[in-house]
Amino acid sequence: MAGLLTFVSARGRAAAHRERVVEALELLRHRGPDDTNVVVTDDVVFGADRLAVTDLTGGRQPVSFPPMGVTRGRYLIVFDGAVYNAAELREELVEDRGADFATESEAEVILAAYHHWGPSVLSRLRGMFAFVIWDGSARRAFGARDPYGVKPLYQLTTDDGVYLASERKALLPFVAEERRAAVDPANLQHYLTMQYVPEPATMHPDIRRLGAGESFVYTPGGPLANRRYSQLDLRPTPTGDEDGLVRRITEGLRDSVRAHLKADVPVGAFLSSGIDSTAIVALAAEADPQLRTYTVGYDIAQFSEIEVAEQSARALGVRNTATVVNPADLMRALPRIVWHLDDPVADPALVPLFLLAERAARDVTVVLGGDGADELFGGYPIYREPLSLAGVSHLPDSMQRGLRAVSRVIPQGVKGKSFLERGTTPIEERYYGNARIFSEEEKAALLRHYTAGIRHTDVTAPVFKEASALDDVATMQYIDLYTWLRGDILVKADRMTMAHGLQLRTPFLDRAVFEVASTLPSELKVPPRSQETKAALRRALAGIVPEPIVNRKKLGFPVPIRPWLRTEMHDWAHGILDSSGAGDLLDLDVVRGLLKAHRKKEADHSRKIWTVLVFCVWHAVFVTGQLKPVIPDAVPHRHTVPESLGLDPW
């Protein structure tokens, strides 16, 4: 896998851009500390910072194909990710197509498969990926991201051609200088609502993301054409064989974990107090009893998961390493975290994940995590909301209008007001993901330039349309699969681990698991007569996960920003507001008022304050340049022999 940066020239003058690409590639060195290489032709500059995970000696990127014959070097690829069925695809290509391979790399398998099967190769790949292929004979670029969006790919179109990169920061040097500090006002509003910038947009108006499950084609001089190739359909199906369905979950997850363990480097796993990561660890330990696990927590007991995670580690017989995070760690790490993010994401769990990954990267190059289980199996407590609101939401429209009018006269904070408001609001209006930070009224007061016509429904309405045949629980899952998972969870997972040259793999986000999870009826996710979530998954893991964990309430990777913003982090927060230079976009006095009320315990404003603080740090790093985080030099992993920078002819 690699941090990739490519340029496809619109005019056949790629070589003139080589030095700028080489310089910008340094911004991605953390993603691939083991080797850097650049290949140049008349049409393209392909650069890769490699993280060596498989074929340590022969898998240098970029890779060309075929390796022999008159068509030598027709194709070129840079690839980030992991293909877990690469060995099976290689065998099929050799036996059925007579393909010849020069390396054991996954990248070469993708190229050979593309040569023989064309774009349909995407339906055959099992894994996480972002790649760019150049076909020198057809003079055409082709690339894609995996269906879930685990691996990122950013795009910038200029008069000179198209640039593609693993991170946005590597494209900023190619944006017109006078526009490098531009901020997209619509996406600032979306961020303040959702705590992330929804794809395919970024906070920069000129740079876009290739969407999850999308591919692209670019012919020099023509348009950059993106298209969706994958649809993550949910198909809840009533079943009379619940035991069989539960067995399929267990079998699919066990198969996925074993596939995700394939690597030529040390593999570990993250371990929290919850069922998701514990399940991954339990199944991984079956195949690798020497598995190392990593946990993060705090000195504040109600927020820390260390004690429970260590109990699980002892029960499963794995060696666990715990990292304790304090307020000083958070304040010190945030500027660097924001630099790695590219766009602001106001999920406090970024901080412990960043520090957890830093510790794990000392021992291993790959870690397994439990991301995706909540979206697939119905794990978020908010998925129970349709059941709790049913007494109101199922009333005739005339009665709902009356109750809505009643809710308007109930004072804020009075019990029942929110219940009536949400129960009489259509799901298309009330649900837009797990994080709901600032309301429209609050944004109007906070933003210097608020536009009333920009609302969360701009993002969610097309997704709700696709989910129109689903019940409310499955609809909420579907919205999260296409928004929250891609905009928050997987951005957090990729950036915080790759910041340390650590590859995070997500066994729940696998075709073997999704095939069964997508068919679960809602009553096997959130049963109507209990407070349980992920009911079918919990049944599937009984006897695999330690019994106290199977029915443990979800903590959600909590971070004690609420008490810290009242104490150790209070003055630091004021300092960020005073020095960020973001006052031209936000009325920071509004936030100072929130901070004052929060300290006096008049209300819990911690998430709102944190959302603004992250944006202010981002603004100081990427807009004004007032804050320049210290980014340590990437250190090659001990298990590889790094090569010097290459500028290979092709």
Q: Residue 78 pLDDT > 80, yes or no? A: yes
Q: Are residues 375 and 400 in the same domain?
A: no
Q: Among 433, 459, 494, identify where a domain stops.
A: 433
- Please state, as a whole number, how many other Cβ atoms lie within 10 Å of the Cβ of residue 539: 18
Q: Are residues 199 and 259 in the same domain?
A: no
Average of per-residue pLDDT across 130-144 = 97
Q: Are residues 533 and 416 in the same domain?
A: no
Q: Are 533 and 379 in contact (CB under 8 A)?
A: yes
- Assign 650 a pLDDT band (cuts: 50, 70, 90): very low
- 402 or 647: which leads in pLDDT: 402
The mean-pLDDT minimum among 166-180, 312-326, 393-407 falls in: 393-407
Q: Residue 418 pLDDT > 90, yes or no? A: no
The answer to the question of residue 198 being in a domain is: yes
Question: Within a 13 Å sphere around the CA of 217, how many CA atoms are in the beta-carbon half?
Answer: 10
Q: Residue 647 pLDDT > 80, yes or no? A: no
Count of the separate structural domains present in the chain = 4
The answer to the question of residue 279 being in a domain is: yes
Dihedral over Cα of 372, 375, 376, 377: its sign: positive
pLDDT digit string (tens) for 465-522? 999 999 999 999 999 999 999 999 999 999 999 999 999 999 999 999 999 999 999 9
Q: Which of 281, 212, 261, 231 lies closest to 84, judged by CA? A: 261
Average of per-residue pLDDT across 69-73 = 52
Q: Is the pTM of this model over 0.85?
A: yes
Q: Are residues 178 and 278 in the same domain?
A: no
Q: Residue 648 pLDDT > 60, yes or no? A: no
Tokens of 310: 């260590």
Average of per-residue pLDDT across 516-539 = 92
- Assign 170 a pLDDT band (cuts: 50, 70, 90): very high
Partners of 4 in the β-ladder:
48
Q: Are residues 364 and 496 in the same domain?
A: yes
Of all residues in the chain, what percent carry a pLDDT higher than 70? 96
The answer to the question of residue 645 being in a domain is: no
The answer to the question of residue 638 being in a domain is: no
Q: Are residues 222 and 248 in the same domain?
A: no
pLDDT score at 554: 62
The answer to the question of residue 476 being in a domain is: no
pLDDT digit string (tens) for 429-468? 999 888 889 999 999 999 999 999 999 999 999 999 999 9
Q: Are residues 394 and 257 in the same domain?
A: no
Mean pLDDT, the chain, integer: 92
Euclidean distance between CA atoms 588 and 278, whole angstroms: 42
Q: Among 550, 575, 590, identify where a domain stops.
A: 550
Question: Within a 13 Å sphere around the CA of 16, how many CA atoms are in the beta-carbon half?
Answer: 7
Q: Are residues 205 and 79 in the same domain?
A: yes
Q: Residue 391 pLDDT > 90, yes or no? A: no
Q: Are residues 574 and 512 in the same domain?
A: no
**Cis preceding-peptide flag for 62 (omega within 30 of 0):** yes
Residue 319: phi and psi, rounded to 5, are -90, 120
pLDDT digit string (tens) for 181-233? 999 999 999 999 999 999 999 999 999 999 999 999 999 989 999 999 999 99
Tokens of 2: 């690699």
Q: Which of 142, 137, 152 lies closest to 113, judged by CA? A: 142
Q: Which of 114, 107, 171, 166 lies closest to 142, judged by CA? A: 114
pLDDT score at 636: 85
- Assign 641 a pLDDT band (cuts: 50, 70, 90): very low
The answer to the question of residue 634 being in a domain is: no
Domain residue limits at 208: 2-230
CATH value at residue 100: 3.60.20.10
Average of per-residue pLDDT across 545-571 = 85
Q: Are residues 78 and 212 in the same domain?
A: yes
Average of per-residue pLDDT across 6-12 = 95
Q: Are residues 330 and 207 in the same domain?
A: no
- Assign 72 a pLDDT band (cuts: 50, 70, 90): low
- Of how many residues is the chain composed? 650
Q: How far is CA 110 from CA 45, 219, 245, 372, 610, in A?
A: 19, 20, 33, 25, 42
Q: How far is CA 228 from CA 79, 120, 232, in A?
A: 19, 12, 11
The answer to the question of residue 466 being in a domain is: no
pLDDT score at 406: 85
Q: Among 230, 251, 281, identify where a domain stops.
A: 230
The answer to the question of residue 501 being in a domain is: yes
pLDDT score at 69: 44
Q: Are residues 39 and 172 in the same domain?
A: yes
Euclidean distance between CA atoms 139 and 127, whole angstroms: 27
Q: Residue 71 pLDDT > 60, yes or no? A: no
